[in-house]
């Protein structure tokens, strides 16, 4: 639900058959990206609140999202214990990181875009090398 602060009122609502776990704006603020219990990654029009595209993100609930500052890639993770990186516009899986033994609950991309940080329910904090740092492309489809 999107609210106006003054006067306080609902301006729009987005509906899906899921329990939303995370939501973020694309850097150009034209779209929202959500994830949740339905295992889907949903792109929404930020102005009208309508779904634009729905991707199968995982076989398990997705808890966390992060997008790079240009909006070219986004990362997600959840109960599958994998960090996944997708190209934003194409919606294609670009890389997968295995290492957590518990659900991933939070993800952040460093400001210099050289690292990703993920936090798992097992208490671990993983620091991953971002495969698209400063124009460097690692085509191995896995994180280090």
Condensed to tens digits (0 to 9), the pLDDT of residues 93-122 reads 999 999 999 999 999 999 999 999 999 999
CB distance 11 to 4 below 8 Å: yes
pLDDT top residue among 101 and 138? 101
3, pLDDT greater than 70:
no
Buried b (16+ CB within 10 A) or exposed e, 20-59: ebbeeebeeeebbbbbbbbbbbbbbebeeeeeeeebebbe
Q: Identify the pLDDT of residue 17.
A: 78
Percentage of the residues of the chain whose pLDDT score is greater than 90? 72
Beta bridge mates, 51: 44
Q: What is the pLDDT of residue 96?
A: 93
Q: Which of 2-6, 46-50, 95-99, 133-137 shows the lowest mean pLDDT across its residues?
A: 133-137
The pLDDT > 70 percentage for the chain reads 86
Per-residue model confidence (pLDDT) at position 32 = 94
Total-model pTM: 0.85
Q: How many helices (H) and strands (E) does the chain have?
A: 0, 13
Task: State the Cα torsion 77-80-83-85 to the nearest 10°.
Answer: -80
């Amino acid at each position: 639900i999107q609210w106006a602060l003054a006067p306080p009122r609902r301006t729009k609502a987005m509906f899906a058959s899921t329990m939303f776990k995370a939501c973020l704006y694309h850097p150009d603020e034209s779209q929202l990206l959500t994830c949740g219990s339905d295992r889907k990654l949903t792109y929404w029009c930020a102005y009208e609140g309508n779904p634009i595209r729905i991707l199968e993100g995982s076989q398990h609930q997705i808890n966390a999202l992060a997008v790079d500052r240009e909006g070219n890639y986004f990362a997600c993770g959840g109960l599958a214990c994998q960090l996944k990186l997708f190209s934003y516009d194409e919606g294609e899986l670009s890389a997968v990181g295995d290492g957590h033994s518990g659900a991933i609950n939070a993800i952040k991309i460093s400001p210099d875009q050289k690292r990703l940080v993920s936090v798992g329910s097992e208490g671990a904090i993983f620091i991953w090398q971002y495969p698209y740092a400063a124009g460097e492309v690692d085509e191995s489809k896995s994180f280090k």
